[in-house]
């Protein structure tokens, strides 16, 4: 037996705990990527830090593409703030274990996922070195603006000629039980910011003012009640939700000069960010003309909708999930955005990870047995992928 084969398997539970103990609230690196770089380098991965604008990112590759294949994992080590620390049962960066659970910020989203695919990749290349490459692209900017994280890694890959053929993003995807859902796409996300401008004056003299509040109410009603579509084969119907209306008027006898409204759209592949922006602009212009107000609008596109059609990649992952959990994962496009929206521009991508309904909460926690099962799923995916 070779020295490499004799090494003890990487424990994904212990690695999860080590990562949780790194305070890596975006944009802090907190030692998480330093820890992973050391571990992966010792296992023979070539590691490159791809930091940009103060954001830490890690690209780790084992092997060379050559005539073989390249399999990728993507994930993040940054986490959201802890909120009220006094409300936590255990210290949020303590990785405390109580029964079958490990507690800590990032326990679910998604330090356990990163630990599982890192452990699977290291053990796999030690025990059955494949003809090809395994790549881990790990960012510290998924929970923030996401402009200098996975995007920076993909930009760097293009610059230096690095490529992967397929990728799993290790986000938590299962709503209730380990293995019950895989993501094969995501809805797009667009936020629109409106400012409605009228003419200020006394509320007793309405003929001398232009009240922006009825205008913003009319615009909000039209946008939020409009049926964008009925859904598609793989997506739910698109939605438009008012998230805030802000006037800041402390007086009850003054018509304000202006008010603001924000709406958030989650959309399927019937639309694009450009087409929805055009619709929003036309509705705003129509209300402005009807009410005599001026309406300005800016938008922020967080990501277009995308779909990896059911096929070889989803079948590969689905069979591995079923073999290790006994469940056939539903193929879904529900939920918010993830970095898969960037990876899909590079190669086919699906998402599979742990049960996610405790992420971002006080007392975020992960079931220890699920971490172990996730490592087994990822190991089986690698085994089956490179066996073909």
Residues 60 and 152 in one domain: yes
What DSSP string describes 334-377? Answer: -SS--THHHHTTTS-EEE--SB-TTTTSTT-EEEHHHHHHHHHH
DSSP conformational letter for 165: S
As given in the structure block, the two tokens for residue 368 are: 């220890």
CA distance linking residue 301 with residue 190, whole number of Å: 5
Which one, of 72, 27, 30, lies nearest residue 52 by Cα?
Answer: 27
Let me know the angle formed at the C-alpha of 108 by 54 and 38, rounded to the nearest 5 degrees.
50
Boundary residue ending a domain (303, 333, 353) = 303
Q: Which domain holds residue 232?
A: 188-303
Torsional class of 324: left (φ above 0), alpha (ψ -120 to 50), beta (otherwise): alpha
CA distance linking residue 367 with residue 271, whole number of Å: 38
Q: Where are the beta strands (DSSP E) in the chain?
A: 46-49, 57-63, 69-76, 97-98, 101-103, 132-139, 166-169, 181-183, 185-186, 188-197, 201-202, 239-246, 254-255, 258-267, 294-303, 306-307, 330-332, 349-351, 365-367
Residues 181 and 49 in one domain: yes
Boundary residue ending a domain (265, 288, 303) = 303
pLDDT value for 6: 62
Residues 14 and 148 in one domain: yes
CA distance linking residue 311 with residue 149, whole number of Å: 28
Let me know the angle formed at the C-alpha of 103 by 101 and 104, rounded to the nearest 5 degrees.
155
Instruction: Collapse the DSSP code of 199 into the 3-class scheme (helix H, G, I; strand E, B; otherwise coil) and give the result.
Output: strand
pLDDT value for 64: 87
What is the Cα gyration radius of the chain?
Answer: 24
Residues 50 and 111 in one domain: yes
pLDDT value for 1: 35
Residues 310 and 279 in one domain: no
What DSSP string describes 209-241? Answer: -B-HHHHHHHHHHHHHH-------SSSPPPEEE
pLDDT value for 377: 98
pLDDT value for 69: 94
pLDDT value for 5: 47
Residues 158 and 247 in one domain: no
Residues 270 and 180 in one domain: no
CA distance linking residue 189 with residue 255, whole number of Å: 34
As given in the structure block, the two tokens for residue 280 are: 């929003």
Q: Among all residues, which ones are annotated catalytic?
A: 78, 142
Boundary residue ending a domain (303, 337, 354) = 303
For residue 88, cis peptide bond before it (omega within 30 degrees of 0): no
pLDDT value for 152: 98
Residues 134 and 46 in one domain: yes
Q: What are phi and psi of 179, to 5 degrees?
A: 100, 0
As given in the structure block, the two tokens for residue 203 are: 């509320």
Structural domains in the chain (count): 2
Residue 62, beta-bridge partner list = 134
Residues 81 and 120 in one domain: yes
Residues 217 and 330 in one domain: no
As given in the structure block, the two tokens for residue 220 are: 């909000």
CA distance linking residue 60 with residue 131, whole number of Å: 17
Mean pLDDT, 10 residues at a time, the chain of 388 residues:
66 98 97 98 98 97 86 98 96 97 97 98 96 97 94 97 96 96 96 98 96 98 97 95 97 97 96 98 98 98 94 97 97 92 95 93 96 98 94
The model scores a pTM over 0.75: yes
């Amino acid at each position: 037996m070779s020295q490499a084969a004799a090494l003890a398997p990487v424990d994904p539970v212990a690695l999860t705990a080590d990562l949780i103990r790194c305070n890596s609230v975006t944009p802090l690196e907190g030692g998480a990527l330093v820890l992973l770089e050391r571990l992966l380098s010792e296992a023979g991965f070539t590691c490159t830090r791809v930091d940009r604008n103060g954001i830490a990112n890690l690209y780790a590759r084992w092997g060379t593409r050559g005539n073989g294949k390249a399999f990728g994992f993507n994930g993040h080590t940054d986490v959201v703030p802890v909120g009220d620390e006094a409300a936590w049962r255990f210290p949020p960066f303590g990785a405390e274990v109580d029964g079958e659970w490990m507690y800590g910020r990032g326990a679910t989203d998604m330090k356990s996922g990163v630990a599982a695919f890192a452990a699977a990749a290291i053990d796999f290349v030690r025990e059955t070195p494949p003809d090809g490459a395994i790549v881990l692209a790990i960012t510290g900017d998924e929970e923030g603006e996401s402009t200098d994280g996975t995007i920076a890694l993909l930009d760097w890959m293009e610059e230096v000629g690095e490529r992967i053929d397929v990728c799993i993003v290790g986000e938590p995807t299962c709503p209730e039980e380990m293995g019950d859902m895989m993501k094969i796409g995501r809805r797009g996300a667009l936020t629109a910011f409106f400012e409605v401008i009228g003419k200020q004056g006394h509320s007793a003299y309405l003929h001398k003012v232009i009240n922006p509040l009825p205008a913003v109410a009319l615009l909000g009603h039209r946008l939020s009640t409009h049926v964008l579509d009925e859904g598609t084969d793989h997506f739910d119907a698109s939605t438009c939700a008012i998230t805030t209306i802000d006037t800041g008027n402390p007086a009850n006898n003054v018509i304000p000069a202006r008010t603001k409204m924000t709406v958030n759209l989650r959309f399927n592949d019937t639309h694009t960010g450009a087409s929805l922006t055009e619709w929003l602009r036309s509705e705003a212009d129509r209300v402005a003309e009807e009410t005599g107000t001026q309406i300005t609008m800016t938008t922020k596109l967080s990501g277009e909708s995308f779909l990896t059609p059911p096929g070889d990649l989803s079948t590969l992952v689905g069979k591995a999930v079923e073999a290790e959990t006994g469940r056939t994962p539903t193929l879904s496009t529900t939920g918010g955005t993830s970095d898969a929206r960037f990876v899909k521009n590079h190669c086919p991508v699906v998402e599979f990870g742990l049960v996610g309904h405790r992420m971002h909460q006080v007392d975020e926690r992960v079931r220890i047995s699920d971490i172990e099962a996730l490592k087994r799923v990822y190991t089986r995916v690698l085994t089956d992928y490179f066996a073909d």
